[in-house]
Amino acid sequence: MSLQFYFILLTLFLFALLSYLYIRKNTSYDLQKSHTQEVMELPNYSQIDSSLALCTIKIEDLKFRARIYNLQGKGEAIILLHGWPQSSIAWQPFFEAAKNLDYKIIAYDQRGYSPGARPINIKDYTTAKLVADVFGIADELNIERFHLVGHDWGAAIGWAAVMSNSKRILSWTALSIPHSLAFFEALRTDKEQQKKSRYIKFFNLPWLPEFFLALGKVAILRLLMFKWMPKSHTEEYLSILSEPGAMSATLNWYRAMKLKHEFAYQADIKVPVLFIWGNRDPAISRAAILKQDQYIHGTYKNIELDTGHWLLERRTKFVIHEILEHIKNV
């Protein structure tokens, strides 16, 4: 073999070694799993007497960390679904705004974000399983019908939940992400949506997204996303994502998109729908929004805001007011 070959081999080895040393020094991995330890100390929801509390909710072999309010109340229930890379704390302003109302409110850290609900296999993060978690939480809390609200991935799962079992949904509010079939149609036909969805292909790669996102103590998330969010919220997100396996679990939502799986649904939506989106959202095109009209056949309010993706953080009071008005008027 030539000297040039050995030189290239040595260069690659040195690059790999330096990369390893850099990552070891600059990534955010919490090997002590401090967030998991904190969650293990939380009581089960059945042991909660206070009106607003952190607790755990167990369904089958999964234990979800959750924020709950007024479970003993007589009002209707609201289930809130967060997106990536957040947790149930994203809904804290909603809890504060609704604290004098009689609604039962549940926001849980979804599969992969809750330490006790973090399967290893990609197949455990299919839409069908994530939807089953929504109704599993409701069943465990003896809630038959409820209002559903979701943002980002939470909206994607919410659309699927409404399509799969609309009889149990009193109203549906989607933030940022349009009807699933409208989105995938735009992904096939709209060049703008294809461009905006390039990150999905990257997230589908093995290990490389974790490598990239962990660099500099998740510097890319701090730069592009967390700068819009309250410090207390970002501290919680970092405490979750910094645990070994957590980042992979949250990215497995994207990787599971390409898996073939059985999922029965009715595409037409007849429950009351509120949709709020930002026209400067870097992930969603206008074409995807317009295409969803064909699937909604009930009461429908579409609100376009001159902002980006993080609606709860950028337009907090307005968005929460619209959600509560939508729920109240059903």
What local confidence, expressed as pLDDT, does residue 17 receive? 59
Task: Point out the residues of the chain with pLDDT beneath 50.
Answer: none
Taking the CB of residue 282, how many other CB atoms lie within 10 A of it? 11
Separation between Cα atoms, residue 91 and residue 82, nearest integer Å: 8
Which of 68, 75, 74, 64 has the alpha carbon at shortest distance from 51? 68
Per-residue pLDDT tens for 257-293? 988 666 668 899 999 999 999 999 999 999 999 999 9
How many Cα atoms occupy the beta-carbon half-sphere of 192 within 13 Å? 12
What local confidence, expressed as pLDDT, does residue 6 receive? 64
* Residue type, position 203, single letter: F
* Cβ-contact 197, 283 below 8 angstroms: yes
What local confidence, expressed as pLDDT, does residue 2 receive? 64
Reported pTM = 0.91
Q: Could you tell me the two tokens for 25?
A: 């020094």
What local confidence, expressed as pLDDT, does residue 244 receive? 86
What local confidence, expressed as pLDDT, does residue 154 receive? 98
In sequence order, what are the residues at sequence separation of 6 or more whose Cβ sits closer than 8 angstroms to the Cβ of residue 22? 215
Taking the CB of residue 21, how many other CB atoms lie within 10 A of it? 10
What's the angle, vertex CA 13, arms to CA 7 and CA 17, rounded to 5? 145
What local confidence, expressed as pLDDT, does residue 265 receive? 80
Separation between Cα atoms, residue 80 and residue 76, nearest integer Å: 13
CA dihedral angle for residue 45, residue 48, residue 53, residue 58, rounded to 10 degrees: -10
Q: Which domains does the chain have, with CATH numbers?
A: 14-260+267-328 (3.40.50.1820)
Q: Is the peptide bond before 178 cis (omega within 30 degrees of 0)?
A: no
Count H helices and E strands in the chain, helices first.
14, 8
- DSSP conformation letters of 160-196: HHHHH-GGGEEEEEEES---HHHHHHHHHH-HHHHHH
In sequence order, what are the residues at sequence separation of 6 or more whose Cβ sits closer than 8 angstroms to the Cβ of residue 49? none
Separation between Cα atoms, residue 302 and residue 179, nearest integer Å: 12
